[in-house]
Amino acid sequence: MPIISENKYDVIIIGGGVAGLAAAFQLAESEKSVLLVEALEHFGGRTAGGDGWDTGRHLATSAYHSFNHLLDQIGSLNNLHLRPLAIHSKRSGRTKTWNLSLPRIGTISAPISLIFDDYFPISDRFKILVKLSKLKSINPDDEINRSVLGKISFAEYMKINSWPATLVEGFGNPVSRGMMNLPPNKANALPVIKAIKLLLSENHLNAGWSSPNHHGSLLSDDVPSALVAAGIDFKTEQRVNQIAKIHDRWTIQLNEGVYSARALILAVPPDQYSKIEMTSQQQSLKVQADSVEFRGIATVRARVDGLEALNGPIAINDKDDSLWFLSAAEEGKILIEQVVSGIHKSDGVNRQSLLERFKRELLDNFDIEVESQMVEIRNYPKATPSFYPDVKRPDQNLSDNLFIAGDWVETGLPATLEAAALSGVRAAQAII
């Protein structure tokens, strides 16, 4: 029998992660009645942390306007300590730094530090300015650009545009690894270019990383209070058992009741769709969700003495599949992390191999020795969806008043916190 509801709203949002929260607050600003449903006891989704949900450290920058607006709405903006962003490389035993936070040179898409820092050789600096300026002039939303750039890899883009090897190694490769969780030869050029434009458009670029150790590290524990203040109804620890379209309304069945709305936003990871019973006309949604492939990451970390914290990744080998991070830890120690990216589900993770590699490279590059028992290894097999060249991402509006939101849908950006927040905002705006 069809499920019948007396609990009516304008919009129901399934999923209380970044995308779902952003959609809820956007709708509340337009005075829509909203019900936000979250299966866990806390909000934040995959970014909130906790075993089985934590997907590693999460980058946020001052250029992430949609995400920062969400943090401000829920009282969490101070949870991220944004500091001047820099990219580092380890060459011949020396750590070189490019301060991306310094002011731009007029309209040229590079900071003054490109000229004065020693990150790039003097002989390449003018050429690099030209290449970055050309990238910034691209309109990634132009139909022709979308068609061309969406079919090639970022490695092909760098080759076609004759990027100097130092720019490829010191910037292109780390950006692809860090923002796409893919090597440049597998990453779709379009979202990488859009992400670089976003970063280089910020005059004073600051950044910070959420702690991946416990829920509430990124989003304030006062999220429920912020929802109440905004007039948003919510339910936590509630699984959606069934979704159906009855006449002109979407109806959902929870463990404790039935609710309906004129519009429905699904803001959950695609692998969760198989757990929801849907009517036949929504089965195409599951087909789309099943087509999304994820890449994993593994983090290997230890607390050490004798190093300084750096606000930005360190690239050590341009052909390597990892980036390093040095951040302040308790008792004056430094947390050093090696983040291994782009792990395919068929590859698996050999923890002993990761441990031995970490200890070897830590000694070779930082002259630090650690005991095996001091090293922590964590694996996130579904850290980010993979955006390959010429692979279309799902559109947000699937059918009449049915929308999806999340870092895996079509926003033009890599699977970042900004992409998740922006997708939620756009889904809400389409309904409004």
pLDDT at 154: 97
Mark whether 189 and 249 lie in a shared domain. Answer: no
Q: Do 272 and 19 contact (CB within 8 A), yes or no?
A: no
Own/partner long-range contacts of 141-146 (Cβ < 8 Å, ≥24 apart)? 141/412, 145/190, 146/190
Asked whether 88 and 35 are in contact (CB, 8 A), the reply is no
Domain co-membership, 110 together with 53: no
Q: How far is CA 332 from CA 86, 189, 328, 337, in A?
A: 22, 41, 7, 16
Mean pLDDT of the chain: 86
Distance from C-alpha of 101 to C-alpha of 78, rounded to nearest angstrom:
19
Q: In this structure, is residue 412 part of a structural domain?
A: yes
In a domain, 114, yes or no: yes
Report helix, strand and coil shares of the chain as percent, to nearest 5: 35, 25, 40
Looking at per-residue confidence, does 43 or 124 come out higher?
Answer: 124
pLDDT of 333: 92
Q: Is 6's pLDDT higher than 70? A: no
Question: Got the DSSP string for 367-418?
Answer: -----GGG-EEEEEEEEEE---TT-PPPPSEEETTEEE-STTSSSSS-SSHH
Q: How far is CA 61 from the centre of its chain?
A: 11
Are 273 and 413 within one domain? yes
Dihedrals phi, psi of 431, to nearest 5 degrees: -75, -40
Confidence of residue 217 (pLDDT cuts 50, 70, 90): low
End-to-end CA distance of the chain: 32
Domain CATH number, residue 307: 3.90.660.20
Give the pLDDT score at 52. Answer: 40
Mean per-residue pLDDT for 145-166? 95
Using CA atoms, how far apart are residues 366 and 419, in angstroms rounded to an integer? 34
**Residue 87 forms part of a structural domain:** no
Report the sign of the C-alpha dihedral through residues 341, 54, 420, 11, in that order. Answer: positive
Same domain membership, residue 418 and residue 338: no
Give start and end residues of each alpha helix (H) in 245-292: 283-290
Are residues 116 and 200 part of one domain?
Answer: yes
Q: What pLDDT, on the 0 to 100 scale, is given for residue 54? A: 46
| Cα 224 to Cα 14, 75, 78, 383, distances in angstroms | 16, 11, 17, 26
Rounded average pLDDT over 269-275: 79
Q: Specify whether 395 is located in the same domain as 278.
A: yes
Give the tens place of pLDDT for each residue, 195-206. Answer: 999 888 888 888
pTM: 0.90
Angstrom CA distances, 150 to 136, 157, 194, 250, 332, stand at 17, 11, 11, 34, 46
**409 shares a domain with 370:** no
Rounded CA-CA distance 308/315 in Å is 16
Structural domain contains residue 342: yes
- What is the percent of the chain where pLDDT is above 90? 48
Domain co-membership, 254 together with 236: yes
- Say yes or no to pLDDT of 267 above 70: yes
272-286 average pLDDT score? 70
Per-residue model confidence (pLDDT) at position 2 = 47
Tokens, residue 370: 């650690």
Domain boundary among 178, 204, 230: 204
Q: Is the domain of 126 the same as that of 189?
A: yes
Q: What would the mean pLDDT of 400-423 be, rounded to a whole number? A: 91
188 in the same domain as 122 = yes
- 330 shares a domain with 372: yes
Q: Is 1 part of any domain?
A: no
Average pLDDT over residues 165-184: 92
Mean pLDDT of 264-274: 86
Structural domains of the chain, count: 3
SS3 349: coil
| 85 belongs to a structural domain | no
Whether 275 contacts 31, CB under 8 Å: no
Domain boundary pick from 185, 204, 223:
204
Locate the DSSP E strands across 226-359. Answer: 233-235, 240-246, 249-254, 257-266, 277-278, 294-304, 314-315, 322-328, 334-343
Which of 53-67, 142-156, 374-388 has the highest average model confidence (pLDDT)? 142-156
Residues 124 and 196 in one domain: yes
Instruction: Assess if residue 253 is contained within a domain.
Output: yes
Q: b/e map of 331-355 (b: 16 or more CB within 10 Å)? A: eeebbbbbbbbbbeeeeebeeeebb
Please report how the helices 18-29 and 65-73 are oriented relative to each other, as an axis angle in degrees rounded to 10: 70
Going across the sheet that includes 83-84, the strands are 58-61, 206-210, 83-84
Could you list the residue range(s) of the whole structural domain that residue 176 is in? 97-204
Strands 249-254 and 240-246 turn out to be antiparallel
Q: Is residue 335 part of a domain?
A: yes
Model confidence pLDDT, tens digit, residues 70-121? 989 988 887 777 889 999 988 777 889 999 888 776 666 677 888 888 899 9
Are 181 and 154 within 8 A, CB to CB? no
CATH of the domain at 15: 3.50.50.60
- Domain end marker among 152, 187, 204: 204
Q: What percentage of the chain has pLDDT greater than the value 70?
A: 90
Amino acid letter, residue 62: S
Strand partners, 377: 300
Please, are residues 100 and 113 in contact by the beta-carbon 8 Å criterion? yes
